[in-house]
Amino acid sequence: MYNLYDDKPIIACSTGMVSNSAIGLIRISGFDNLISLQEFFSFDLKKVKARYNHFSKLLFNSCVLDEVVFSYYPGPNSYNGENILEISVHGNQLNISKIISVFIDNTNIRAAREGEFSYRALKNGKLSLSQVEGLDLLLNASSSYMLEQGLDILQGDLYLKYKDLHSSFLKVKSSIEIGIDFSEDVGEETCATLLNEALDEFSVIINQLHSRISSNLSELSSPSVSLVGKTNAGKSSLFNLLLNSDRSIVSDIEGTTRDYVSEYINMHGNNFRVIDTAGLRSTTDSIEQIGIKKALDIHSSSFFKILVINPLDNIQESLNILGDNNFDLVIFSHADKKLDIDFSLYEEILQSAEYSINTCLSSDNRDYILIGPMGADSKFGSIEPVNKVGPMGAISKFGPIEPVGNGPIEPLSRYISSLIVDKFTKLTADKPLLIDRHRQKVNEIYLSFKDFQDISINNTDIAILSSEINILGSKVSELVGIISPDDVLNNIFSNFCIGK
């Protein structure tokens, strides 16, 4: 990050510079005196009330640039501890850019860089490092859980948990220092009791936090749903159904989708990226091979994996290409093909396909196999299917992607959405930590504390304990954000938007 220690005044549009809007909020921070900006305002700045809105004409060389509403927040009682001026202007992007340029070109104010307003809040002690990371999570949230955890780290339960961890550590450290300096006054037994009580309290808190990093949950930050399968299995039809839009091209020609197509859909307040991948098959076409490799990479990193299979195809070929039998849902398509072949033969093929898939699925996922045609809704049987063929029912779980009629049936798209949301809800039930640095630091603290416990049991030398507790303390301080290495700062603030 550039100019970490540059104290010049900065300016940026905090409402974004992408599209026009009714209002744009321009923020200026770090100026010494509000009166120094008087030439740009028709309002007498000597009469400004802190944290009140004021109406003014914005001026340059006696020409009116805009009519604005502004508020003044004097430091240190502002967001970042500096003098801040917020100006609400008309939100045409040309207008915003023109006003910002006037201030930059005619004062010592420079353009702010990513996250610089919040960096100054950290620098001036208005936010801790962990709170800044919570703000980052909040600003870039793609799910309600990310939003909730971002707020929790800013001022909520997680913020308080981190503070409790630090306070508890100070009790441990104080107990050891009492043993060094005052053991003769208070007695060794009392010192040992104080230390054990402090260690027990710290142990409870760090164990609670450690339980929230027990699994790899980075996929929850940007959950994706992948549709994989052989060419012409019906992935694009399913993709269009989930989006309720003809987003992907559907054709009888094999290999129509040669690269992945993705769109975001919102389910119960969470954004999921649904990805229609290239069809899997053995090929010598170099372009198609690239698409297949992308499909495999997407599948391996997806939050929810759907395998679409035509039971009349070579199922084992799909499984061999994937090399991964970890599916959340398997859909057998093209059940309408029974009309083109002998019915008993079709049933035999279908049973064989089910058996092949069942043998490679975990017992938890074997209930999630759906069977039915992929659309042509003139070719189905009744709502209560015979021989596992018919429209998708809420009870039967068999049938076409587009169910026939308006009876008491559950559309396939709704059923799949419920499975995706259920998995997300279960994985977030224990409130896992999402920020990688927090997960890493909690684990380091946990392991360091275990080492300290082992040493304290086998060693009564208080000087050695004092040395070891300092190692633990540095890790606690890093989590809470009392110390902040430059590489961590660069990584965090470069992810922020301009003006925040």
Q: Where are the alpha helices (DSSP H) in 81-143?
A: 93-106, 116-123, 129-139
CATH code that applies to domain 131-215+435-481: 1.20.120.430
Distance CA 233, CA 334 (A): 8
Count, residues in the chain = 500
Element (H, E) at 362: none
For the cut 60, the answer to whether the pLDDT of residue 341 exceeds it is no
The distance in angstroms from the start CA to the end CA of the chain is: 15
The answer to which of 49-53, 281-285, 347-351, 436-440 has the lowest mean pLDDT is 347-351
Give the mean model confidence (pLDDT) for residues 494-498.
57
Where along the chain do the CATH 1.20.120.430 domains lie?
131-215+435-481
pLDDT band at 128, cuts 50/70/90? confident
Q: What is the DSSP string of 340-357?
A: TS-HHHHHHHHHHHHHHH
Please, what is the average pLDDT of the chain? 76
Q: What is the pLDDT of residue 55?
A: 97
- Give the type of residue at 140: N
**Strand extents, DSSP E, 407-497:** none
pLDDT at 36 over 80: yes
* Sign of the alpha-carbon dihedral angle for 372, 376, 377, 382: negative
Percent of the chain whose predicted confidence (pLDDT) is above 70: 69
Tokens of 118: 């919040």
For the record, the structure tokens of 77 come out as: 């009682």
**CA 168 to mean position of chain CA atoms:** 30
- The alpha helices in 259-342, defined as continuous H runs, are 286-301, 315-322
pLDDT > 90: percent of the chain = 23
Chain centroid to CA 2? 26
In CATH, the number for domain 10-127 is 3.30.1360.120
What is the distance between the alpha carbons of residues 197 and 178, in angstroms, rounded to a whole number? 14
Are residues 85 and 68 in contact, defined by beta-carbon separation less than 8 angstroms?
no
Give the pair of three-digit tokens for residue 424.
């997300």
Give the amino acid at 253.
Answer: I
Q: What is the pLDDT confidence band of residue 361, given thresholds at 50, 70 and 90?
A: low
Delimit the CATH 3.40.50.300 region(s) of the chain.
218-427
Provide the CATH topology of domain 218-427. Answer: Rossmann fold (3.40.50)
Q: Given a cut of 70, is residue 255 above it in pLDDT?
A: no
Reported as a pLDDT band with limits 50, 70 and 90, residue 60 is very high
Token couple for 356:
């092949």
Give the bridge partners for 23, in sequence order: 90
Q: Structure pTM?
A: 0.60
The Cβ of residue 283 has, within 10 Å, a number of other Cβ atoms equal to: 14
Mean pLDDT throughout 165-169?
89
- Three-state SS for 406? coil
